Structures are given as C-alpha cells and as structure tokens.
Structure 1
Amino acid sequence: MALLDDVIDANGGMARWNSLKGFTLHLSVGGTLFSSAGHAREFKDVTAEGSTRTQSIRFTGITGGEHSGSFQPDAITIESLDGEVLRTWRNPSFASAEAGSPALADELHLVFFCGVAIWNYLTTPFLLADPDVVVEELTPWRENTQTWRRLRAQFPPRLVTLASEQIIYFDESALQRRTDHDLFGMKVAHSSWAHDSFGGIVVPTLRRAQTLQSDGTVIAKPVLMDVEIFDAVFE
C-alpha cells in the first residue's frame, strides 16, 4: 500500500526496524484517567524497557520509584526494585472496565493499561505491516490548512491493543499525528507531535488523548492521557 510504504519510510524504514530487538524510554504519563483513579504521580519519570519483536515491556520507577512493573499479554507483575515478584495478574483484560473508566484500580491495572498503550505507540507504524493487520486507506481529512491521509487498521486478537479497530492520521510528511478509536465506552483521539529521531527511528515525543465529538473534532478538555518521552534508545 502506497501510504503505508511512505509512512514506514518516513519513520526510519523497515530494514532499520527489523534490525532492532528492543527499546529503552525515559517518559512520564499522566492525565485525568490517572488522577481520577488516584495515580496522578505514579508514572512520572519512569524507565520503560521493551521488545520490538514481542509484546513485552518493563517499567522501572513506578509508584514514586518504589516498584517495577512488567507487561506481557498473559501476565502482569509488580516487583520490588531487586526483582522480587510482589503481585501477579494472569490473563489480564480490559473486559471489566466500565464506560469512562479504564479500571485503573491498582498498580496491576495501571501497568497493564500503560504497557499496552506504550508498546503500541512505539511499534506503530511498523506494526501495521504485520501480515495479520488489515489496513485500508480512507478518504483524506482536512486539518486546518493541512490535508492528512488516513488508514483504518484492524488488529488480530493475538495482538493486545487499546481497540481492535483504529483510524490513524498522517500529515504531509507521512508522520503520525492522530489515532481515533473506542476506549471504555468513549470515542477518543490520541494526538501526537514533536517528532524526533532516535537511532534512525522517528518517534512522536508528545501524545495526548482527548474525547471526540460526533463530527470527528477533538474536545479540548478533559485531557485523558498525556505522554511525554524525554529520551529513547533503540538497539
């Protein structure tokens, strides 16, 4: 697909991506989804180490630097800083979440939600080239004075995502600028900007999730989720 090819090339190219095994991020995550559940400070100044090839990511320094948390599709763990497993959640899912709430009731839910979100953020758009992901180009979207091209992506059940169907917008430089999908009964848009290159891979260093109106325009407040990536290393 021409658009997907352009996007992958603009973000570093498939050859470079396929040469990688993992990433390390320094980031902070916040927003009303977290503060309303009592987690306003628990994902500030966190280190995330993940695989580019499988869905796995480990967060160090959560809950004020006291714990680490590990995400894999079949298990979430909370660990002490010396590696002792304190709590485990087997076969996690979003199924129990109610409309308007990500069910961030405790550290396990927090690590699950952030693990899914951050891993998918870091692997898109390369993840869209997976043979089991169904991608379709939609009509362009007019964003102020720019024309953004769009892809609809349908993800297979084997990939844990925030939503199985997502609409992804790319600007005139083929960089990802927005992703729309359902989230816990809401229509949300994840805006992304401030792209930077780390080891040849282009990453949006700022992301913001907000609710959507029926006409597709973004509602400014509340800010559901804010992600700031301070640094990224790929290897």
Structure 2
Amino acid sequence: MSDKLDRLLQEIFDAHGGINRWRQAKGLASTIVTGGKLWGLKGIEMDRTPRRATTDFHRQWTQIDGFGNPDWKMRWVPEHVEITDEAGTIIAERDNGREAFGDRGFETHWDPLNLAYFNGYAMWTYHALPFLLAEPGYVVHEIPSVHSDVQNLRGLAVRFPDNVHSHTRDQRFYFGTDGLLCRHDYEVDVWANSPAAHFLSDYVEVDGFKFPTRRSVFARRPDGSPDKDFSTVTVELSEYAVQ
C-alpha cells in the first residue's frame, strides 16, 4: 500500500470516528425505514414501519426486529438465516441463503428468506463501512474521482475477501473533501447483477462516530451516472446506538 493511499485511508477513518474506536466497539444498531422500487419488483410489500437493525462489527451477523411481523425477528449469518417469533420459535430458516435465489432474474420474486438474506448482508456491510477497508483480506487501490453536485469525490476500488458476503466482490467508494463516504457503487449479484449508485447523506455524530441518516440507491447507467428516475432503494436511519 502506498504512502498516499495510507494517508487517504487514515483521513477517511478519522473522519468517521477513528479506526481504534471502531475496533473497540462491538457493533451498531439503528432504526430503519425502507422504500424504493426494488421491493415491488420482487413481490414484497414493504411498508414504512420502522424496524430495528443490529449488527456485529467483527463477525458477519445481523438481527432485524419487526421482520415481517411486529413480534418477529430475523437473524442472519452467511451460512444460515432464520425468522423467529417472540418466543424464539422458528417460523422459517435456510442454510446457504445465497444459493437459494434461483435464476436471479430482474423481476424474479423473492420469498421472505431471500429478503432476510439480502437485508442481512446489506445492513451488515452498511453499518461496518468504511472501517471494513482496514481489515485483512480487503484489497484497496485508488481510482479516478467522480463529480457530484458540489464537489469532486475521491475514489477507491475495493475487492472484498472471498468469504465475506456482500453485494459483489468488487465495489467502488467515493469520499468527499471532509473524508466522509458519499457514494458507493456496486453490482447486485443476487439481483441480475444490477448496477447501483448508492448515495449517503445527512450525517449525524453519535459517540464520536459519523453515520449517514439517508441512503438513496439508484440504477446506474452504462456511463456511470445515476438514473434518478429509477430509485431502487431508500433507507432512512435514526436512533443509532454503538454497542
């Protein structure tokens, strides 16, 4: 890793709260309200009921309370996902969830466990970024900047380790002059390799960390620009709590 890249990563980690503080924390919880066109394409009725997402920073683990029913919860790890009721009785479960997406077509419907798997890895990734980039096995290099509405965003390309479940192995991240993550580009393997441009905004400070309260994901055109007429996912995040 070059000295220049080292300095840029240090600036990014410091802007978000510091890598040492992150490594000392156990995980993160946030209240999420979700919208966008993806869910209808997948045959899912996604209302604006707030749900509580909790993740572990140092292993791939996610729990979402209020998943499909106010008294149900979903727990995800890469090898297993389950939905349980308030008493802990299993409503549905599945091993090897990534293999269960069938033909992965653009409008192929998802069942509740497909949704649980997708939500599990996505929320884990979002909660842990950008500090994941300091962990072993992540290969990082600089790429050309992109221009946003008000500034040039510095770019990093990242190859995720084979054993980390996320949208896809190769992802791109873009950071503002303040060091905060502003844009995240990827292809969604389990959704027809759909290209996405994911924007983060309206940061708040909690226990010394900076977290976005708005995530807006758009289809990404071949030239890299976002299609603002096709909003695939929106996530409003609040009530952050560092564990």
Equivalent residue for 1:61? Answer: 66
* Root-mean-square deviation over aligned CA pairs: 1.6
Equivalent residue for 1:114? Answer: 119
Q: Identify which range, 142-151 or 54-63, moves more after superposition.
A: 142-151
- Counterpart amino acid of residue 228 in structure 1: E
Among 92, 106, 111, which residue is 1:100 paired with?
106
Equivalent residue for 2:3? Answer: none
Among 178, 195, 205, which residue is 1:197 paired with?
205
- Counterpart amino acid of residue 230 in structure 2: P
What is the alpha-carbon distance in structure 2 between the residues aligned to residue 6 and residue 27 of structure 1?
A: 28
Q: Identify which range, 138-147 or 76-85, moves more after superposition.
A: 138-147
Superposed CA deviations along residues 120-145 of structure 1, whole A, max 9, x for unmatched, are 00101000111200000112222234
What is the alpha-carbon distance in structure 2 between the residues aligned to residue 74 and residue 43 of structure 1?
A: 29
| CA 1:145–1:229: 2 relative to 1, 3 Å | closer
Corresponding pairs, count? 234
Q: Identify which range, 132-141 or 32-41, moves more after superposition.
A: 32-41
SS of alignment partner, residue 17 of structure 1: helix
What is the alpha-carbon distance in structure 2 between the residues aligned to residue 23 and residue 185 of structure 1?
A: 28
Structure 2 portions without partners, runs of 5+? 1-5
Is the contact between residue 74 and residue 81 of structure 2 (CA under 8 Å) also seen in structure 1?
yes
How far off its partner does 1:204 sit? 1.0
What is the alpha-carbon distance in structure 2 between the residues aligned to residue 99 and residue 228 of structure 1?
A: 27
What is the alpha-carbon distance in structure 2 between the residues aligned to residue 81 and residue 56 of structure 1?
A: 19
How far off its partner does 1:87 sit? 1.3
What is the alpha-carbon distance in structure 2 between the residues aligned to residue 227 and residue 72 of structure 1?
A: 21
Equivalent residue for 1:78? Answer: 83
- Counterpart amino acid of residue 146 in structure 2: W
What TM-score does the superposition give when structure 1 sets the normalisation length? 0.94
Superposed CA deviations along residues 28-83 of structure 1, whole A, max 9, x for unmatched, are 12211112333233573101122111110111112241421111111000101221
SS of alignment partner, residue 18 of structure 1: helix
What is the alpha-carbon distance in structure 2 between the residues aligned to residue 37 and residue 3 of structure 1?
A: 39
Equivalent residue for 1:127? Answer: 132
What TM-score does the superposition give when structure 2 sets the normalisation length? 0.91
| CA 1:2–1:60: 2 relative to 1, 3 Å | same
Question: Residue 15 in 1 paired to residue 23 in 2?
Answer: no
- Counterpart amino acid of residue 93 in structure 2: T
Equivalent residue for 1:142? Answer: 147
SS of alignment partner, residue 26 of structure 1: strand
Question: Residue 185 in 1 paired to residue 193 in 2?
Answer: yes
What is the alpha-carbon distance in structure 1 between the residues aligned to residue 125 and residue 138 of structure 2?
A: 13
| CA 1:97–1:172: 2 relative to 1, 3 Å | farther
Among 222, 225, 236, which residue is 1:217 paired with?
225
| CA 1:221–1:14: 2 relative to 1, 3 Å | same
Structure 1 portions without partners, runs of 5+? none
What is the alpha-carbon distance in structure 2 between the residues aligned to residue 35 and residue 64 of structure 1?
A: 18
